[in-house]
Structures are given as C-alpha cells and as structure tokens.
Structure 1
Amino acid sequence: MFGLRISALALAVLSTGLTAGVFYAYAISVMPALARTDARTLVDVMQKVNVVIINPWFMLAFMGTVGFTLLALLTNLGAPQRKTLILVAIALALNVIAFGVTAGANVPLNDALAAAGDPAAVPDLATVRADFEAAWVRWNIVRAVVHTVAFAVLCGALVTAGIAEGRVSAN
C-alpha cells in the first residue's frame, strides 16, 4: 500500500509542479513579451496558443492537479501519518481553487478572445486586447501562485509520508 500512496503523491507533485511551471512561464516571459507587441500580434498569438495548449500532455498535467491529488488523498486515508493526509487535503483544496480560477476566469477570457475572430478582420483590436490582457494576466498570476503553493505543500506531504514509512519500517 505504501507504494501506491507514494506513487499517487509523486504524480500529484509532478502534475502540480508542471502546471505551476506553465503558468509561471506565462507570467514571467510570455505575457511580458506580448505586452511589448501590438494588439494584432497579441490577439493572434494568444488565439493560437489557446488552441495548441489543449493537448494530451498539458491536459494530463492540468487535470492531474486535482485528479492525482484526490487519488493521493484517498490512498492516504489509512496511512500511519495523519500529517500527510492533512497536507494532501490542503493541496487538494488549493488545486481545486486554481482549477476554478482557470475555468471561471482564464477560459472565459480565452473564449471571448477566440470569438473576436480573425485578427486581420477585427475592426478594433485595441478594445479586444484591453478586454483580455490585464484580466488574463492577473488571473494567470493568481493560479500560478496557488498551484505553486499546492506544489510546495505536496512536496511536504511526500516528505512526511517517507518519514512515516521509515518509522514504521524501523519498528
């Protein structure tokens, strides 16, 4: 059972860390670079990014933040170290919050950007950009921070699980 608990925790750590990293990369490089471009470039690039990011690799990590963390919670229900369970529960709550930010804020902004249509045919790209950019960046930073905190908490859970197993094995 320890192997399953550790595997679930490792998958939760990995998926949460990868997702936090994607959103962190947007916050520190992609969006600041696009902020230095004209409205047509920003709209065109973000429309394309929002299409290509929906791929199996991203979705596995992104959905795994909740799915694998829930699996880690369930497999740790009978674990010898209650602290691990508490940390996983905190991380699950954080991952659900970050997932909610994505679903409730970033995705609707992405959808509105897509609905604007072909950037070459949009008459007022400055308005499209203004309606998208600042809000999307703000919510992206929120989800990056929340996923990063969840990642740190899950790392702590992995350590406490290993320590607890070491104590059990020593007895």
Structure 2
Amino acid sequence: MRQEKFMFALRLAALVAATLATGLIAGVFYAYATSVMPALNRTDDRAMIDVMQKINVVIINPWFMIGFMGTVGFTVLAAALHLGKEHRTTLIWLGIALALNVIAFAVTSGSNVPLNDQLAAAGDPAQIADLAKVRADFESAWVRWNIIRAILHTLAFLVLSGALFVAGIQHGRAQASGSAANQQVSQAQPVPAGVQTAGQPYRAPIMAQQYAFRSAAGQYAAHPAGAQHLG
C-alpha cells in the first residue's frame, strides 16, 4: 500500500513538473510574440540588433534552461512512469504532449538558435556596415518561428493539463475499485459457528434446549431408577 502511494506521488510529481516547465516556456515565447518583438519592431536597426544580442546572452541561465530542457525531459520521465495498461489513457495524452514538445524543441534548436548565432556573429552593432540587411535577415524569420514554437508549447501545456485530469480520474477509480474488492473479501469470510449474522434467524436457544434434553436423556438412561420418570 505504501509503495502504491509512493509511485502515485512520483508519477504525479513528474507530470506536474512537465506541465509547469511547458507552461513557463510557452509563456516566455508568448511574451516575445506579444510584447518584446512588437516593441523592438518600432526601434531603429541598431537598437533592435543590440537589444536582441543582449537578450540572447542573458537568457542562457539555469532558470530558463531547466524549464526549456524540462519540456522534453520531464515529459519523457512522466511517460516512463506511466507505462502499463492501467495507465494507458494517461500515457496516450503524454505521448501527444511529448510529440508537441519535441517538435517545438526542434524548431528552437533548428531555427531560432541558428538565427541567434547569426546575429551574434554580425558583431558590435556600432561596427556593422549594413544594419538594415542584418536586421532583415534575422527579424522576420525569428518572429515567425517564435510564434510557431509558442503555439506548439501552448498546445502541449493544454494536453499535459488534460493528462493531469485523466490521471486523477484513473487514480480515483482505482481507489474505489480497491475499496469495493476489500469489502467483498471481508463479506465473503466464513462466519464462526454460533455467531449470529444479519438476515439469519436466532437459533441459539433452540440448540441449547436440544442439547440440554439430550444430556438429560443420557443421564436417565444411565440410571434405571430415573428412567421411570421418562415414562
């Protein structure tokens, strides 16, 4: 029983971690799409390049990387802990979320990161000869891929939220089934002789009378003088 509770807590913790990491990263990319990039779009070329170069440096920190890597890592862990036919429904939800997070991760690694590296390679904005070209080669493509990965991570977050809900329902049903099974086992246990159960007539006095009569008859039979009283 303790092991079952421990495994449930472990599965739940992994699922919550995957959901939280995915939601946080989806929020970061959503913020880029709705505020950061529209604001930078209104600045001049040098300011836009300079700010994005700095953002791409400071964002590589442990807090961001735990969430970013956790979108896939925690989801894989949650899926591994839900292997088994009794968790099949939750595992399906996790598989969908994992696919979405992997695709979004690939978009970031294969599109946004190379664009960031390209912008960094352009060097100091004060020394760039053609600022407009560097910006044009970076901005529109980066914004497009950022919107795509934000949508993918948001969908994964919604699916993981559904997986949490399904996991809770499955656990509740398993608990109810276990309680019902235990109740049936307790009801099926044999009742010791002489113990009165519900729905059975009370026969103890009759059995006692029969036993007393048989004992008395035996005593009279053993003593012929007393046998006359039986007549």
- TM-score by length of structure 2 reads 0.73
Considering Cα pairs closer than 8 Å and 6+ residues apart, tell me whether 1 or 2 has the greater RCO.
1
Amino acid at match of 2:171: E
Q: Distance in 1 between matches of 2:87 and 2:124?
A: 55
1:117 and 2:136 aligned: no
Q: Tell me if the contact between 1:81 and 1:160 (Cα under 8 Å) persists in the aligned partners.
A: no
Q: Which residue of 2 aligns with 1:3?
A: 9
1:98 and 2:104 aligned: yes
Q: Distance in 1 between matches of 2:85 and 2:63?
A: 31
Q: Deviations over 1:15-58 (max 9, x none)?
A: 00000000000000000000000010110000000000000000
Match of 1:151 among 137, 157, 160: 157
RMSD across aligned C-alpha pairs, in angstroms?
Answer: 0.7
Range with greater deviation from structure 2 (60-69 or 79-88):
79-88
Larger radius of gyration: 2
Q: Which residue of 2 aligns with 1:72?
A: 78
Q: Which aligned segments of 4 or more residues in structure 1 are displaced greater than 6 angstroms? A: none
Q: Which residue of 2 aligns with 1:127?
A: 133
SS of 2:86 mapped into structure 1: coil
Q: Distance in 1 between matches of 2:94 and 2:45?
A: 42
1:78, CA displacement in angstroms?
Answer: 2.3
Q: Distance in 2 between matches of 1:8 and 1:74?
A: 10
Q: Deviations over 1:124-171 (max 9, x none)?
A: 110000000000000000000000000000000000000100111112
1:138 and 2:144 aligned: yes
1:8, CA displacement in angstroms?
Answer: 0.5
Q: Which residue of 1 aligns with 2:214?
A: none
Q: Distance in 2 between matches of 1:83 and 1:142?
A: 28
Q: Distance in 2 between matches of 1:61 and 1:98?
A: 13
Between the two proteins, the alignment pairs up a number of residues equal to 171
The answer for unaligned runs of 5 or more in structure 1 is none
1:79, CA displacement in angstroms?
Answer: 6.2
Q: Distance in 1 between matches of 2:96 and 2:83?
A: 14
